[in-house]
Amino acid sequence: MLTRPQDFAALQSEGSTRSSPLLAVRIRRTDLETTRFGFSTGRKLGTAVIRNRVRRRLREALRAMSPSFQPGWDVLIIARPGLIDAPHEALVGALRRLLHRGGVLGGPAQP
């Protein structure tokens, strides 16, 4: 997980962005052996209960994709308000497409 402010600042300054109506993803190549993720769920999404639910849904979607991650990436996932009511399949599909376009996922893109 990304937790240090320096990591978030590096993503902001050096990372590339991919976006969809549900999510935005900032991606940066690193020399690490693992891929690290961070979440941004702003107050625009709603109360703390809603923001925590969004983070849990994102973690679950990432857990299912974890065998396909390429090593050496930092990824910041920025939730947009449309994600709150989106079905799980739409969340997973959007996240998979964005990560594949950014090079974080290996193999063919899946809808």
User: Of 3.30.230.10, 3.40.50.1980, 1.10.10.10, 3.30.565.10, which CATH number belongs to 5-101?
Assistant: 3.30.230.10
Structure confidence at residue 109 (pLDDT)? 42
Q: What is the pLDDT of residue 107?
A: 56
Digits of tens for pLDDT over the chain (111 positions)? 898 999 999 999 998 999 999 999 999 999 899 999 999 999 999 999 999 999 999 999 999 999 999 999 999 999 999 999 999 999 999 999 999 999 999 754 444
Tell me the CA distances in angstroms from 93 to 7, 14, 29, 98, 106, one per residue in order. Answer: 26, 26, 23, 9, 15
Distance CA 10, CA 108 (A): 29
**What tokens does 13 get?**
């300054």
pTM, whole model, 2 decimals?
0.90
- How far is Cα 37 from Cα 3, in angstroms, rounded to an integer? 9
CA-CA distance, 110 to 80, in Å (whole number)?
22
Domain ranges of the chain: 5-101
pLDDT, residue 108, reads: 46
The encoded tokens of residue 50 equal 């809603």
